[in-house]
Every structure is written in structure tokens, then in C-alpha cells.
């Protein structure tokens, strides 16, 4: 399906965007926060890739691999979301401290 391909490409672009911001950041908590955001996007990328593969081919092997991708992508996104929620207040606090110091 063309919609899933579009979503996969957008998610991959967001993953590259967040990883680039991660490598350019000098703040330690912001790096963890950006890493969590990239984990969410990478998990969604894998999840939608698994869903898309279900529409491409209908064989038992594809179903098994797609199920693994969907489960792994959902789990990876969930862990990334939990990390994101955990580091968000610390990243805000770190940004405000740097803003006040300058």
C-alpha cells in the first residue's frame, strides 16, 4: 500500500533528523531525550514495515517475519515513549538552567 510506504519514508526521515540532533547536542540529558525520540520513531518504522509486508506477500514465512517486526516495533516504541516521558522534565530543567546561565 502506498500509504504505508509514505509513512515508512517519513518515519525514516524523522529518525535521521533525531539522530543528527543527538550527535550535535552537547547536553547529556538532551541527548538521552533525543535518543528516546529516535527510539520511538525507529520502533514505528519497524512496526509499519511489518504491517506493509503483510500486504505485499501472503505466505506463512512473511506472516511470521511481519509478526516479529510488528511485535518488536511496538515494544521498541513503547520503551522509547517511556524513556521520553522520563527524560522530558529533566531536559526542560537542563534547558532552563542553560538559558538562565547565559
Say how many domains are in the chain. Answer: 1
Nearest-5° Cα angle at 81, 3 to 74: 50
Residue 102 pLDDT > 80, yes or no? no
How far from chain centre, in Å, is Cα 32? Answer: 13
Q: Which of residues 35 and 98 earns the better pLDDT score? A: 35
pLDDT the model gives residue 37:
96
Residue 14: band (very low, low, confident or very high) from pLDDT cuts 50, 70, 90: very high
Q: Residues of the chain with pLDDT > 90: what percent?
A: 87
pLDDT the model gives residue 22:
95
**Residue 72's domain spans which residues?**
2-101
pLDDT the model gives residue 1:
77
pTM: 0.89
Q: Locate 88 and state its grid cell.
A: 522530558
Task: Tell me the average pLDDT across 13-20.
Answer: 96
pLDDT in tens, 69-94: 999 999 999 999 999 999 999 999 99
Gap between the Cα atoms of 69 and 46, Å rounded: 6
Amino acid at each position: 500500500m502506498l500509504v504505508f510506504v509514505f509513512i515508512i519514508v517519513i518515519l525514516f526521515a524523522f529518525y535521521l533528523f533525531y539522530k543528527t540532533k543527538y550527535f550535535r547536542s552537547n547536553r547529556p540529558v538532551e541527548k538521552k531525550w533525543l535518543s528516546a525520540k529516535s527510539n520511538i520513531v525507529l520502533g514505528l518504522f519497524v512496526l509499519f514495515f511489518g504491517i506493509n509486508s503483510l500486504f505485499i506477500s501472503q505466505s506463512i514465512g512473511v506472516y511470521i517475519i511481519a509478526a516479529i517486526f510488528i511485535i518488536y516495533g511496538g515494544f521498541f516504541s513503547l520503551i522509547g515513549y517511556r524513556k521520553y516521558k522520563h527524560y522530558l522534565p529533566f531536559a526542560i530543567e537542563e534547558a532552563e538552567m542553560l538559558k538562565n546561565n547565559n
